[in-house]
Structure 1
């Protein structure tokens, strides 16, 4: 498969010099002006963001969503009091079109501020400044008994004349290379690669499948931790602003994001986040680990069991993995203050009921937990037909018990809310079931409940599940 793709690259390079003379097509598509601003986003209750999936900006490690962009976005959304809805796309043109069409509100990637782009979208204050650098091999390892072969490293930009450089399609790197070609008075063959993110192109350089690519310096230096045979010391640009982007019509949103960024960049929290992803060498350990969604693709060492058992009940294993992370952080020996044990935190009486003989056995515990979930689903299926809606009730019941959830459903119905809808209906009454005016209501059969825990339990599991779906294949 990889050799086929490289063949396509080679063929594409034959036409590269012709493509270099063409104008960018990034903004050729006409977009209707969409008038969605901060008030609309606040009413919606969530901000829709697109970011790119790589080992620095957004990924999952040991079951947790992490990343430079992700942590900035979480801090911002918390400050604004908005839910964060993240989608993933490495396609620059698609992201811009989706922004202008109103499908997303914010592009949160390593977006270089350029004059051409500024004619179409509104850039925020920069969240960092970096240069573009050439990524090339400094040596390649030979096979067999032959010695290591060292490549001649390019240091002078004039030496790029006649060279073929592969870059992400419609990226700022294309524009910079076109300008550099004019500056050195000679042609640079630029091959634009669709669907490949910069780190994937760096991997091709490291493996000798393409000769050169271009990357932002902060991202490039991180990748020297993963590939000891790449060189990133040759800059091809002056320092450039890296920012987010909103629609030109979203003036209030732009003002709020700018004010937040200006103040946040002065905080210790921002400095800690930047060091964590761009300076701290422990990031090498993260990406080399099998439990990183980029490299290993695993959520936990129990993925195989979770997949196998989830399949029996036609459940998405990523949802079950998110639940297990919530319950035990994948530690099978853990025991709660109430006596719940194992990966899925089964109470001993629940484990007995569902035939679990060894409660701390990962396999047995997962089997028992899935039987319990299926049992709850069967009870709720009689009244809640929509499976996507029902899973919220099932998760809440798994955490706090079916009786308390049914109490909240009765309270919702009594107060004119929809007892079959979770968000802003049943969840409100479960959340408030610790208050006397709620748990003393005549329709309540199971009394007091500390509803804050199951309320956040459902939200946290489903949000993490969304992150898993973004970056982990089913």
Structure 2
């Protein structure tokens, strides 16, 4: 950049809104890393030359990432994500504190890195020539293909697979003349343009708003709002868990490498990260983390369990833990069948249940929550229920500003599932957009669903970023519906 005395450049500095997050009692902000959410970006000033020696002296590794359902997110008050877990291990092995800056758009990451706002981009970026002009890529984390996301026929469950296949696009040649929606200048867009050249025929490429995420486009395919889109295979597989009516079997590209990125002026850091990654990829830990987010997606889908209730035995019992549930419901001031419905939703009354995120026991307590509320052995049914009840009691107090107790129950249930931070965000959005922040149905729940949409989770009133709102909304509905069924089932017992 030219800095001569005779040629001054004036830079518009956009306001940065940020805050640091640390583990708190209520689990609203958690994780071992400091987190800063960057609302907007600074215009280009000068590129940084910071490298590993300076980072080591600082004692802190600053990573840049973006919210997504795989890279970085908050679930049940815990910071999670594929990139986040790897980053935590990298920082620990380098003897550094981890600080994460979470940008609300991946388009901001490259400039922020070059400016020196962070040391590396920890987000699964496809390695492309265009990106290599701006940054250096680390050793690849994985190889992925781009796949076509399309709807299965409405009757796909009733017909043979080969008949389903005949109704789907299975050869890229058949994309000619089809309408595919993607964001502009993404690897997906570039691949479709290349396919047009290879096929010698046009594909009707619809360019989505730049703030639309791949996951939002997949959602639109599932909801019949658009015909087709393209996604990385790992993202598609994860979302296929939530949308079983979509098909993701048709690859449209050769395998592509995805990696993190460092500045071109940071060769020592790149060498350190590459050495660590090359070693890490030979360990069991690496594959455990990868499988947790990308391979074992069926375990995650259990969070969306569709069964409304369990059976009642000949004695009129829901489970052998009914008496303990009744005791704790009395402490909580709830109908015991409501608490039983929550317990079933969490664990199906299995005290040995362990979720993909590490939650354990009847009420699926995260280890930190279990410890804080006195469950030294969270697999013990009585300890687990007692600790879970204390946490629910705390949430009741947290939402005491909701005057109607039936409405308050919905806010408490949603918070138990996804963390009260995300629910409070949805409440702030509801108020901003002139909906009732004290009412759940069609009001706060609407904005919790919209927290997976960049236009909303990037809103200035939002403090906790991306949330897969479909889960807590279904969670609340399922528990309330099951509670009604339990009342019907046990009326004569």
Normalising by structure 1, we get a TM-score of 0.55
Give yes or no for the alignment of 1:72 onto 2:82.
Answer: no
1:234 to 246, 250, 253: 250
Query: Which consecutive residues of structure 1, in runs of 5 or more, have no partner in the other structure?
Result: 1-28, 143-148, 291-304, 306-323, 337-341, 347-359, 371-467
Q: Give the CA deviation at 1:158.
A: 1.7
Partner residue, 1:50: 64
Query: Which consecutive residues of structure 2, in runs of 5 or more, have no partner in the other structure?
Result: 1-42, 157-163, 307-331, 333-364, 378-382, 400-462, 469-493
User: Quick one: distance in 1 between partners of 2:465 and 2:104?
Assistant: 12
Aligned with 1:237: secondary structure?
coil
Q: In the superposition, relative to structure 1, how do residues 327 and 119 fare at CA in structure 2: closer, same or farther (>3 Å)? A: closer
Q: In the superposition, relative to structure 1, how do residues 192 and 43 fare at CA in structure 2: closer, same or farther (>3 Å)? A: farther
Partner residue, 1:158: 173
Partner residue, 2:128: 114
Q: In the superposition, relative to structure 1, how do residues 151 and 54 fare at CA in structure 2: closer, same or farther (>3 Å)? A: farther
Q: Give the CA deviation at 1:122.
A: 0.5
User: Quick one: distance in 2 between partners of 1:365 and 1:221?
Assistant: 37
Q: How does 1:134-283 map to 2 (within 5 A)?
A: 134-140=148-154, 152-190=167-205, 191-283=207-299
Aligned with 1:224: secondary structure?
helix
Q: In the superposition, relative to structure 1, how do residues 139 and 86 fare at CA in structure 2: closer, same or farther (>3 Å)? A: farther
Q: Give the CA deviation at 1:137.
A: 0.7
Conservation of the 8 A alpha-carbon contact between 1:93 and 1:170: no
Residues paired across the two proteins, number:
296
1:401-443 deviations in Å (ceiling 9; x for gaps): xxxxxxxxxxxxxxxxxxxxxxxxxxxxxxxxxxxxxxxxxxx
1:7-63 deviations in Å (ceiling 9; x for gaps): xxxxxxxxxxxxxxxxxxxxxx97733211112222332222222322222222332
Q: Give the CA deviation at 1:166.
A: 1.7
User: Quick one: distance in 2 between partners of 1:134 and 1:87?
Assistant: 32
Give yes or no for the alignment of 1:87 onto 2:128.
Answer: no
Partner residue, 1:39: 53
Q: In the superposition, relative to structure 1, how do residues 363 and 30 fare at CA in structure 2: closer, same or farther (>3 Å)? A: closer
Q: Which has the larger radius of gyration?
A: 1
User: Quick one: distance in 1 between partners of 2:372 and 2:155?
Assistant: 40
Conservation of the 8 A alpha-carbon contact between 2:145 and 2:251: yes
User: Quick one: distance in 1 between partners of 2:117 and 2:152?
Assistant: 43
User: Quick one: distance in 2 between partners of 1:472 and 1:224?
Assistant: 17
Q: How does 1:418-429 map to 2 (within 5 A)?
A: none
Conservation of the 8 A alpha-carbon contact between 2:65 and 2:100: yes
Q: In the superposition, relative to structure 1, how do residues 249 and 472 fare at CA in structure 2: closer, same or farther (>3 Å)? A: same
Quote the RMSD (CA, aligned, Å). 3.9
Q: In the superposition, relative to structure 1, how do residues 367 and 273 fare at CA in structure 2: closer, same or farther (>3 Å)? A: closer
Q: How does 1:397-436 map to 2 (within 5 A)?
A: none
Q: In the superposition, relative to structure 1, how do residues 85 and 289 fare at CA in structure 2: closer, same or farther (>3 Å)? A: farther
User: Quick one: distance in 2 between partners of 1:261 and 1:217?
Assistant: 22
User: Quick one: distance in 2 between partners of 1:95 and 1:32?
Assistant: 15
Q: Give the CA deviation at 1:91.
A: 2.7
Q: In the superposition, relative to structure 1, how do residues 361 and 84 fare at CA in structure 2: closer, same or farther (>3 Å)? A: closer
1:72-98 deviations in Å (ceiling 9; x for gaps): 111111111222222333633211111
Q: How does 1:262-341 map to 2 (within 5 A)?
A: 262-285=278-301, 288=304, 328-329=369-370, 334=375
Give yes or no for the alignment of 1:97 onto 2:111.
Answer: yes
Q: Give the CA deviation at 1:223.
A: 1.9
